[in-house]
Amino acid sequence: MEDVIISPTATEKTMIQSQTENKLTFIVSRKATKKQIKEDVEKQFNVKVEKINVLYTKRGKKAVIKLAPEFNAEEIGERIGIY
């Protein structure tokens, strides 16, 4: 299958979510399932995913990923270069 994660999203809202709710947001493949997104995020960023919400936007399919409490979304965001 093609890449599941296409790109991270960095907006004012996603920055606030990473700080207050421990969430990261990505544009993902339209064909990707929640299970595939979870596996890809856990493998690529070496984290544990607690929950995934998926939205369909004009830009494509967007996944909002809540990380387990022991991981810091803000730190992961800095590591992958979205902040």
For helices 73-80 and 34-45, angle between their N-to-C axes, nearest 10 degrees: 70
Concatenate the DSSP letters of all residues of 12-74 into one string: HHHHHHHHHT-EEEEEE-TT--HHHHHHHHHHHHT--EEEEEEEEETTEEEEEEEEPTTS-HH
Per-residue confidence at 31, pLDDT binned at 50, 70, 90? very high
First to last CA, the chain: 29
Task: Report which of residues 38 and 3 the model is more confident about.
Answer: 38
What percentage of the chain reaches a pLDDT higher than 90?
A: 88
When pLDDT is averaged across residues 8-12 and rounded to a whole number, the result is 92
Mean pLDDT of 9-30: 95
pLDDT of residue 14: 93
pLDDT in tens, 51-72: 999 999 998 999 999 999 999 9
